[in-house]
A and B are shown apart, each in its own frame.
Chain A
Amino acid sequence: MSSIAKGKKLFDWAIVRPAILDSFCKLSPRRQFRNPVMFVVLVGSVLTSLLFVQALIGKGEAGPWFILGISFWLWFTVLFANFAEAMAEGHGRAQADSLKKARRDLVAKKLSNPRRDSSLEMVLASLLKKGDVVLVEAGDYIPIDGEVIEGVASVDESAVTGESAPVIRESGGDRSAVTGGTRIISDWLVIRVTAESGNTFLDRMIAMVEGAKRQKTPNEIALTILLAALTIVFLVVCATLLPFSYYSVLQAHQDQSRVVTITVLVALLVCLAPTTIGALLSAIGIAGMSRLSQANVVAMSGRAVEAAGDVDVLLLDKTGTITLGNRQATEFIAADGVSMEDLADAAQLASLADETPEGRSIVVLAKQQYNLRGRDIEKLGAKFVPFSAQTRMSGVDLDGRQIRKGAVDAIEKFVISHGGVTPDKIRQMSQKIAKSGGTPLVVADGAKALGVIHLKDIVKGGIKERFGDLRRMGIKTVMITGDNPMTAAAIAAEAGVDDFLAEATPEAKLELIRRYQAQGHLVAMTGDGTNDAPALAQADVAVAMNTGTQAAKEAGNMVDLDSNPTKLLDIVQIGKQTLMTRGALTTFSIANDVAKYFAIIPAAFALTYPSLNTLNVMGLATPNSAILSAVIFNAIIIVFLIPLALKGVKYRPMPATQLLRKNLLIYGVGGLIVPFIGIKLIDMLLVVLHLV
């Protein structure tokens, strides 16, 4: 993995220290107001602080030290929430720092005309405008994002991708995009600027990773509404308890000093309000982005991460994602009356000078199966006949022999032109191979057809199981390929995808996405070429390969720096994890309230109605210790759950019902039980320390 990918330790001091400082900076009411739950806690902290001062200087509603204790822990509840957010941002920032190093202000060689030989002018990269043309030579840093319009060069992109092997960038085609901050190792490029300073790919990446430009995602907004509503419910519950208590005291003919205190009601409100999820909500969102960048994927918006969790159709390119990049020879099938060795020998001769992966795989197969060593074609005095679109064959001319390999009909013509005939068996075998999804190559020596080579797409190991997992999660996989339908069907069956699109054109892809979306599906795809751009723009989650063109990157809402198409599966998982973490902590937070009621209700009203002490099932020492324990538990549970918020809940692919059962058990039932234990322990500790 790259330098960016290396996640820092969760509680790295270098992140914790600034996060602690930041926790205090984040106390400003304007920032707190964005989070209604924590804003209520902040107001409660201020209120109890004032009540403490009142108790100190005059007649307070309760003992000053009790009020101070509550107030102290309420402040800490707010600070812990800030700390969680600051920690998440800190992790993001640590990743952004390595990116920032690449963003130094560079000097660019600006060309007056878009030609290498036109006059040069040195300008600061930050002053370059869109459409300007610059020259970059070996050793230079590429000043800003652009598109190659002339030249070929090897570029070190490790600053962005973390990958140390240089990549080729050239004009035209799918490898024409260059990123500012990367360095040219050899040769030169003429680049047209495509983004202005402050809005380059790198700038946006840094902003996203840091979480600075983060906006709440739609689901986060919906959840915030629910949490705010719950907080208001509890506000009403706690506020009305004051008149209820007053009335009860009145009815019991007791002194008005027994009415429940504001301090206790504030404590109850903070304990009941969903502070756990409220405190960790933004940390979860930021951490989701961080986990993506740890996987070397940069999302252009948080919305895209969320959508990734919802995706139910994946469009996957066959080559590179489902199959290994190239077809390989797997079998020789000789015609009647031809020995296997002869066929293998001829096939090998025909392929010795063939540098295509298919050609090399034939040489390898011949060596593996018939122990035929590779020979030097020069020494043999053979003449290589390369593949051409006209002949659709390649081979060698050797000692008067004309050995050729190629498609069935091409070889057939070749054989006829030499006065021979192609045996039926070869034709049958070829058809059989084609039906099974392979590609037949026929080998001929002059007028004699020797046999068939079976070229096969090799499906990546373990990919079928992965698709099985996806199916269980309810995600449909669709293979996209340029192959003919017959070949595509065979590979689709072998790889275990749900559907395929054969002979795919960019229009067909776009059409397919639209069709799925019209049925209500959310579609994810990967792409790299300019011709993928329309489809990428249409897809709900569109992952552009970093090696791809600028157009593809602009159209996508994520960029995979590793350019690994299989990454889509990880992205879906991260999206789901982010949503699940939110759901789990919400459930946990609400389930916690039951125990807190058992702690606080008897404590708050036992003065009026001693019978209510029966509800003190935890056997907490005194009313004050009970309330304080609940408040302390409520605060420190936030710290305990920071790792969960940052790492996300564990996720294994399984159907929704199982997943729900598992998470309800852990976070629902667990959320019911844990606070009973926690509050009791804190209460015991307070007693031991003589704090109450």
Chain B
Amino acid sequence: MTYGIIQIVLFLSVVLLLVKPLGWYMARVYENKPCGLDRILGPVERAIYRLCGVNPANEMGWKRYTVAMIAFNAAGFVVLYALMRLQGFLPLNPQHFPPVAPDLAFNTAVSFITNTNWQAYGGESTMSYLTQMLGLAVQNFVSAASGMAVLVALIRGFVRRNSRTIGNFWVDLTRSLLYILIPLSLIIAILLASQGVVQTFKPYPTATLVEPVVVDGNSFAEQTIAVGPAASQIAIKQLGTNGGGFFNANSAHPLENPTPLSNFLEMLAILLIPGALCYTFGKMAGDTKQGWAILASMVIIFIGLLALCCWSEQKGTPQLVSAGADLQASSTQSGGNMEGKEVRFGIFNSALFATTTTGTSCGAVNSMHDSYTPLGGMVPMWLIQLGEVIFGGVGSGLYGMLAFAILAVFIAGLMVGRTPEYLGKKIESYEMKMASLVILLPIFLALVGTAVAVATKAGQAGAFNPGPHGFSEILYGYSSATNNNGSAFAGINCNTPFYNITLAIAMLGGRYLFKILMLAIAGSLAAKKFIPTSAGTLSTSDPMFVILLISVVIVVGALSFIPALALGPIVEHLMMIGR
């Protein structure tokens, strides 16, 4: 227990220590100021613009920016879909995988361009090396960069005055990739490889088992070990909060996440950019306190829910106790509910990974969330349902949180007797319309998606588990897809046309409608004049505002999902403890 807490404290300290330097660096990148790397990469950047015929000085209004972003993502979809359908005819397919089925290819392509990385397939038994590298890994980079671009455009909306433009999408995309995502993932990939994460183009090797295993009456003396160019893809999978594992078992797989140190690095990679972007936001807005206030709200909710998850998992279940299991933590065992968890990670590093991966829109897993205790499993589910704003996805987490901040400012602004303003920009009916839709959209998609699934034969057919837990699995699936997380409560067969298509719709709506609304806010804010602050202005960087922002996030999340959660994990918990 104590070691677990020490590890969590250590982890969060390292994350917070890196916020300022990386945040500062990213602000320099987006403000187009010298950042160090530009001396080496500047010519590359300019060559890219020349090659693509982009004039970096050509600023875009929010509508053009949106069109560019959508067009770019649509092109990515087409390429990825084609790669999966044609992989049988293409090189780098040592296992000779056949083309991916149309509905699965559609679902997977949508999943990767939307930064969701929901996987209705097992990587090592479906995708060729070429598909993984040229298709999935590329989308891991560019979907993350798209999210960061939208955030930067929104920040410009706050910063600019009486402006019709919010930046150039191509420039924001290129700079995100070139100066931030590629260098960082290079470092992480090398570090991961040093820990034993596999990186190879060779076909799957075969190993002779020490003693033969008998399964269903058949005796096996050999095992095929799935390998591939994993380390390079896992680095960006974590950094870009994508979460799509190279292997089916994701970061629980020993070749994807072999050691406690690699686990630490992978968790760090998830929170690194979303956390640091808060500082970037403050820096670009000219008041770093604004960024710290947002980050503080995230960290507080994060710690609260992490504590609940750790507590519930460490406590285990009364059923295990009555079956004679020893749930006590000791120097030789983690204790608690170890079902679905890796022994090398134990309770705390599994719960921490689960909280990290669902607070952000990453969705990589190092343990099976489905096997968590009801309350322990509710934590990841609810973090997703909060809208992926507790750190959140790269870019998307912060712009989602800023939508909540706009909502908080609106109510609080009224309570201090002023029409609301945030960072010197008046929040009027247009912003409220967009921010309200931003809040409404994911709730609508997740709940209606679940409703359709539980009410139709096609949806019910996929569910294997009875009772509240089966319901939780479906609810988790649609929440995860809508909010572009990508992790899953297993236990439902979601590789069916019904789930592949409905979940893809949820992913597309959750990603692009959200982004369009945020860009509309950015455009509207940029055109506004700036209002100077006074003692009568509501401070958006003091503890009072942090409390308010936390309350708004929690209350909106609770009010929208508590009835559904009551029929899932809450009642499951009550039944488990024998009420």
Contacts and interface: CB of A to CB of B under 8 A. Distances in A.
B179 interface: no
Interface string B420-433: 00001001110111
A584 to B, nearest CB: 6
A609 B447 CA distance: 20
Contact of B436 (A225, A251, A309, A601): A225
Contacts of B443: 233, 236-237
Interface string A204-247: 00000000000000110111011011101110111111111111
B67 interface: no
Given A236-B447, A520-B530, A611-B575, A226 B417 contact: no
A587 B415 contact: yes
A248 interface: yes
A612 B574 contact: yes
A471 interface: yes
Contacts of A218: 419, 428-429
Interface in B511-552: 529-539, 542, 544, 547-548, 551
A549 interface: no
A247 B534 contact: no
B407 A590 contact: no
Nearest to B421: A310
A582 B416 CA distance: 10
Interface string A588-615: 0011011001000100010001011111
Interface string A643-671: 00000000100011101110110011000
Contact of A222 (B429, B450, B455, B574): B429
B544 A660 contact: yes
Interface stretch (B199-207, B227-235, B363-371, B465-473): B465-473
Contact of B437 (A229, A590, A611, A612): A229
B78 interface: no
A519 interface: yes
Interface string B322-338: 00000000000000000
By CB atoms of chain B within 10 A, which of A233, A241, A471, A593 has the most? A233
Interface in A533-591: 575-577, 579-580, 582-584, 586-587, 590-591
A476 interface: yes
B571 A611 contact: yes
B559 A593 contact: yes
A360 interface: no
Interface stretch (B23-31, B125-133, B562-570): B562-570
B410 interface: yes
Interface residues of A, number: 78
Interface in A451-484: 471-476
Contacts of A475: 534, 536
B403 to A, nearest CB: 12
Contacts of B447: 236-237, 240
A306 B579 contact: no
Contacts of A661: 544
B412 interface: yes
A582 B414 contact: yes
Interface in B465-517: 466-468, 470-471
Contact of B417 (A251, A577, A587): A577
B46 interface: no
B9 interface: no
A170 interface: no
A578 to B, nearest CB: 8
Interface in B352-390: none
A394 to B, nearest CB: 47
A253 to B, nearest CB: 9
B530 A575 contact: no
B548 A664 contact: yes
Given A244-B454, A601-B566, A656-B538, A223 B414 contact: yes
A657 B468 CA distance: 44
A534 to B, nearest CB: 22
Contacts of A236: 440, 443-444, 447-448
Contacts of A476: 534
B417 A474 contact: no
A57 interface: no
A312 interface: yes
Contact of B534 (A306, A312, A575, A664): A312
A580 B559 contact: no
A579 B416 CA distance: 8
B429 A656 contact: no
Interface of B is mostly: helix
B497 to A, nearest CB: 20
Contact of B454 (A246, A615, A655, A663): A246
B418 interface: yes
A230 B467 CA distance: 30
B576 to A, nearest CB: 9
B411 interface: yes
Contacts of B532: 312, 519-521
A586 B414 CA distance: 9
B419 A309 contact: yes
A222 B417 contact: no
Given A225-B433, A226-B410, A474 B536 contact: yes
Given A222-B428, A614-B574, A248 B471 contact: yes
A477 to B, nearest CB: 12
A229 B439 contact: yes
Nearest to A668: B551
B37 interface: no
A392 B433 CA distance: 65
B258 interface: no
B387 to A, nearest CB: 12
A577 B574 CA distance: 46
B416 A659 contact: yes
Given A225-B433, A597-B563, A252 B467 contact: yes
A248 B567 contact: yes
A119 B451 CA distance: 84
Nearest to B470: A251
B417 A309 contact: yes
A225 to B, nearest CB: 5
Contact of B451 (A240, A472, A519): A240
Nearest to A612: B571
B555 interface: yes
Given A244-B471, A657-B544, A226 B415 contact: no
Nearest to B417: A576
A307 to B, nearest CB: 8
Given A218-B428, A312-B534, A583 B563 contact: no
Contact of A244 (B428, B558, B564, B570): B564
Contact of B567 (A226, A245, A306): A245
B10 to A, nearest CB: 34
B560 interface: yes
A215 to B, nearest CB: 13
By CB atoms of chain B within 10 A, which of A268, A474, A614, A663 has the most? A474
A272 interface: yes
Nearest to A598: B562
A14 B432 CA distance: 40
Interface in A372-417: none
Contacts of B555: 590-591, 593-594
Given A244-B471, A597-B563, A222 B539 contact: no
Which 10 pairs across A and B sit closest by C-beta, in order of nearness? A474-B536, A583-B414, A576-B417, A474-B534, A229-B436, A583-B415, A474-B535, A611-B574, A247-B454, A222-B429
Given A218-B428, A232-B444, 12 more contacts: A219-B414, A226-B436, A237-B447, A243-B455, A251-B471, A309-B418, A476-B534, A520-B530, A579-B417, A583-B413, A605-B571, A656-B535
Interface of B: 407, 410-419, 424, 427-429, 431-433, 436-437, 439-440, 443-444, 447-448, 450-452, 454-455, 460, 466-468, 470-471, 529-539, 542, 544, 547-548, 551, 555, 558-560, 562-564, 566-567, 570-571, 574-575, 579
6 contacts: A221-B429, A226-B410, A474-B534, A580-B417, A612-B571, A656-B539
